[in-house]
């Protein structure tokens, strides 16, 4: 459930976290300050970097996922993700080709 996921992703020492969680109604919960490392990518690699957690900002999007029918993302949630990512990209000067999904950094583990 969403409340349990937020509690897990915001608890220090669990080695599973994210900087942000975007809820289905468009609300955004910040769990980890952008300046700190989160544990969102797991074992991952991209462009020669094998510690994606230390060099990225993790955004988790609430959705039941592939194993439960992968429902469509609500428009409010999509709009919130876009606004959040644009803000991060502007603040951090991240070019669009460096915005990645889980399947980019952990293709054997994530769809």
Instruction: Classify residue 111 by burial, with Cβ atoms within 10 Å: 0-12, 13-18, 19+.
Output: exposed
Q: How far is Cα 40 from Cα 22, in angstroms, rounded to an integer?
A: 14
Of 95, 91, 22, the C-alpha closest to 58 is 22
Examine the residue annotation and report whether 60 is marked as an active-site residue of this protein: yes
- Looking at 3, 15, 34, 60, which residue is catalytic? 60
Instruction: Classify residue 28 by burial, with Cβ atoms within 10 Å: 0-12, 13-18, 19+.
Output: middle
Which residues are designated catalytic?
60
């Amino acid at each position: 459930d969403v409340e349990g996921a937020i509690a897990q992703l915001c608890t220090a020492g669990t080695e599973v976290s994210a900087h942000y969680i975007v809820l289905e109604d468009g609300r955004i919960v910040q769990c980890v300050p952008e300046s700190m490392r989160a544990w969102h990518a797991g074992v991952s690699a991209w462009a020669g970097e094998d510690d994606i957690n230390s060099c990225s900002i993790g955004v988790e999007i609430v959705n039941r996922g592939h194993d439960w029918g992968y429902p469509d993302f609500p428009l409010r949630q999509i709009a919130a993700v876009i606004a959040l990512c644009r803000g991060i990209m502007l603040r951090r000067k991240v070019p669009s080709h460096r915005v990645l999904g889980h399947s980019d950094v952990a293709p054997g583990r994530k769809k």
